[in-house]
Homo-oligomer: A and B are copies of this chain.
Amino acid sequence: MAEQKPIRVGLLGAGTVGSQTARLLVEQQDELAQRIGRPIELSGIACLDPDEVNFPWIDKSLLTTDTMSVVKNADIVVELIGGTGVARTFVLEALNNGASVVTANKALLAKYGPELYKAAEDNNVDIYFEAAVGGAIPIVRPLRESLVGDQVKSMLGIVNGTTNYILDEMTTKGLDFDVALKEAQEKGYAEADPTGDIEGYDAANKAAIMATLGFHTNVGIDDVTVEGITHITADDIAAATAEGKVVKLLAVVDHTDDGVSARVYPALIRQEHPLASVHGSFNAVFVRAEYADDLMFYGRGAGGAPTASAVVGDIVTVARHITAGCTGPAIRMYNDYPIAPLSSAKASFAVRFLIHDKPGVLLQVAKEFADRGISINGVNQDLKPTATEPGYDGEIQQLRLVTHMTDETTLRDAVEAVCKLDSVTGEPSIIRVLD
């Protein structure tokens, strides 16, 4: 094996994931050579400031600010820069230069996936991205390969650790969203600018990738309907707990006769549901397929070492393809399904109003729902609102109801009508219920 020319791996980025990727490649050099059948070598590491990168396993002479030189001198380019700006330039350059690409960049794939997949196919090189969805969890490869003999019908995932952590803290400590977010930021679980996580955009990127791979059709980030968790209050969580449920931010992709849909929203799920016990930074993805039936994949959704494990798994796969001379198994999006209209998505909703309880209120509320053909599954007034609830005045009560299946447009219309009633005050809360 000593005489074989090593496969050159160029890293773009030397942050948390980049440095751990370098560590795995260096520490396991001999073992990886055995697994591939040919040695690999780190040929360069592009970073913003080489002086700031100090890890015992990183040979300082590999560090450079000249990203393009790393791109041009590698057989496999590992893009860990993130974002949709220069990352796109470098990935395209690598592919067009005949190098294969491994990336963990979900935003890049959700926005420019088709362009990148085509560039890989045109140049007969690989593009692998296991770490872009679910961190260390093998979910991309099972979708690309294991389930390729089946028909995926839907997927349901907890794919953002930050929001999962915040919702956990709200649940166990009874915190309001703002307090829990601040705590998460102090502990390093949320970024200084948490928008991408808490507004659901990170999960939306992953939903777009899941839908594209699962349904073999192009679903981009702009096709994803997104609702974050910023509107979830301590009272929403208390109401969920009282009903034996928890609130989780879900990425949901579906394929029905109306087309495909990719959505991100917080939802109430039963405490017995396997996804209810996915806590903290762990992620999980549920897949329902025509023949395989239900599958679940669970593991660390983020973190340097777990993400690097997925990245290096991809590097080995690509290196094996290079060794065998067969890179370029294309990502085929041969379907051209329409994006299902929002109105086609039926769901059960938990709605919470703040009311001044007078005789006849419930009747009025019920009428607005009945007039729009929405059936009510249950009504509850047993929980007092907390003082931090918007609209709280010491007198108001909570009226909670759960609907049968309806579409969101009709539901919001009914809720708007209810909010115009004299006895109703404050902001209503609307959360989907997973059946």
Contact = CB atoms under 8 A, between A and B. Distances in A.
Interface of A: 20, 24, 28, 31-32, 34-35, 37, 130, 136-138, 141-142, 145-151, 216, 272, 274, 277, 289-300, 303, 305-306, 308-317, 320-321, 324-326, 328-330, 332, 334
A305 B290 CA distance: 9
A149 B295 contact: no
B306 A136 contact: no
Contacts of A297: 295-298
A309 B329 contact: no
A41 to B, nearest CB: 15
Contacts of A28: 149, 151
Contact of A292 (B147, B309, B316): B309
**Number of copies of this kind of chain in the complex:** 2
Given A24-B150, A136-B291, A321-B326, 10 more contacts: A37-B330, A147-B309, A147-B313, A148-B313, A149-B310, A149-B314, A272-B277, A294-B300, A296-B296, A298-B298
A332 B35 contact: yes
A103 to B, nearest CB: 15
A293 B298 contact: no
Given A326-B324, A328-B324, A300 B292 contact: yes
A194 B52 CA distance: 63
A281 to B, nearest CB: 10
B309 A149 contact: yes
Contacts of A147: 138, 309, 313
A325 B124 CA distance: 13
A24 to B, nearest CB: 6
B146 A334 contact: no
Contacts of A291: 20, 24, 136, 305-306, 308-309, 312
A131 to B, nearest CB: 10
A305 B289 CA distance: 10
13 contacts: A35-B216, A35-B334, A147-B309, A148-B316, A148-B317, A149-B308, A149-B313, A150-B309, A291-B305, A292-B309, A293-B300, A293-B306, A297-B298
Contacts of A290: 309
A349 to B, nearest CB: 27
Return the 6 tightest CB-CB contacts between A and B, nearest first.
A149-B312, A326-B326, A138-B146, A292-B309, A136-B292, A295-B299
A299 B292 CA distance: 8
Contacts of A324: 326, 328-329
B305 A24 contact: no
Given A35-B216, A274-B277, A326-B321, A146 B313 contact: yes
A127 to B, nearest CB: 15
A149 B316 contact: yes
A423 to B, nearest CB: 43
Contacts of A328: 324
A138 B295 contact: yes
Nearest to A284: B296
Contacts of A277: 272, 274
Contacts of A293: 136, 299-300, 303, 305-306
A150 B298 contact: no
A310 B37 contact: no
A274 B273 CA distance: 11
Contacts of A142: 138, 141-142
Contacts of A149: 24, 28, 32, 308-316
Instruction: Kindly name the residue among A146, A290, A294 whose own CB sees the greatest number of chain B CB atoms within 10 A.
Output: A146
A320 B331 CA distance: 12
A31 to B, nearest CB: 8
B296 A299 contact: yes
Contacts of A325: 326
A380 to B, nearest CB: 28
A94 to B, nearest CB: 20
A306 to B, nearest CB: 5
